[in-house]
Structure 1
């Protein structure tokens, strides 16, 4: 049975608030002022979290990953609406229009979040130009990500979509635990099973599993339980049909 939502209520520090992309560049004086309204909560994988909470609270993810998904009422097929990584804020849609968002909130692992009343966040956007200046570029970034996801579903096949998803995940969370001299060859993708990956690329588990096994046979990656070890980043980029425009991103990943 899913666990009930039990928030851990303690005040967040200015250091924690600064981890959010929306607040990272704020002046220290303003940061220390607004941090008093933030609290830290913890969600666990498998925990039931009502989407109604999104109309009341605005969240910033500190640790872990959270998936927003929808379910077809007749076929029960699931599709990913968005996935959030540390530093991301959600749900921006509810923040803007105040309407309920009928989604399933699914922590993919144990997550820690900053929580603030959504009305307070709306007030800050109108009151503090510094907050608004950070919010608008972040909103544009999320809109671009949704545009890319929508066009990928129409224009590209499953292998291309899957390779791009894995590369995006690596860019956002780079978690290498191997030998330093092999760091340029191996990158880890943790916590995403075949079913989750399938939802995120608009496919089914069997197709994703087949593609991952093919890449494994080609030496592009190693596949373990809920873990992918990327061995040939360049080959994966070729699968994604990335060109020179993506070279700077790859350089940033390898530099970490």
Structure 2
């Protein structure tokens, strides 16, 4: 198990440049947290008392509106690290975290990690870089919500996910995701999402079979993102 934990640390940008000795020290102050599918790790506005790294499974980070509509901010997968905001500033959690499947997490308590940051400048510098990356991601997300309509946000997301897809003859098969989850990621309804996917399928840009999306015309999707809104369905 220690080998798996060490590998996870080395794969994430926060810990990648750390010495073996420092990695071992981090492991010595960490513990393992197991979650069942659907189990809540923490909720928005709860006290943030730990930093987490995903050893196995997937964790959904999301917020809900007053009306109960869920917006998925990010899906944390193997080697991802999260929970740093509340950990550092002592404020409540900014989102909910729920296991999408049985998951195993590396957990580092606030007190231990804060002490380590004070003693290890390289780790503090890496944390600053992580926060900068989060800010850039947030800025891009806000820009997309402001300047792109739902269909263009969908096209952009599909192209982004295609980098992790499986190349097949004539196209790229995307990692499996339910249309419900995809709609929640984009802050739209499943009905509107299905309508847009069907339109692109009719045009031969992609196919949707048993919930599996395969892209065939990435260039048309990119052109659509850059086009005016008069091509909206």
Output the TM-score relative to the length of structure 1.
0.76
Gaps of 5+ in 2: 228-233
Residues 1:236 and 2:221 are matched in the alignment:
yes
The equivalences for 1:5-44 within 5 A come to: 13-44=5-36
CA distance in 1, matches of 2:57, 2:206: 23
Cα distance change, pair 141–102 in 1 and its aligned pair in 2 (3 A): closer
Q: Residue 68 of structure 1 corresponds to which residue in structure 2?
A: 61
CA distance in 1, matches of 2:210, 2:34: 25
Q: Residue 216 of structure 1 corresponds to which residue in structure 2?
A: 201
CA distance in 1, matches of 2:210, 2:101: 14
Of 151, 154, 157, the match for 1:162: 154
The equivalences for 1:121-200 within 5 A come to: 121-171=113-163, 174-176=164-166, 182=169, 185-190=171-176, 192-200=177-185
CA contact (8 A) 1:70 1:78 kept: yes
Cα distance change, pair 67–115 in 1 and its aligned pair in 2 (3 A): same
Cα distance change, pair 45–212 in 1 and its aligned pair in 2 (3 A): farther
CA distance in 2, matches of 1:92, 1:33: 19
Cα distance change, pair 170–42 in 1 and its aligned pair in 2 (3 A): farther
Cα distance change, pair 154–16 in 1 and its aligned pair in 2 (3 A): closer
Find the residue that maps to 2:175 and give its secondary structure.
strand
- Runs of 4 or more above 6 Å deviation: none
Output the TM-score relative to the length of structure 2.
0.83
The equivalences for 1:36-115 within 5 A come to: 36-51=28-43, 55-73=48-66, 75-101=67-93, 103-115=95-107
How many residues are aligned here?
Answer: 225
Gaps of 5+ in 1: 1-9, 243-256
CA contact (8 A) 1:21 1:88 kept: no
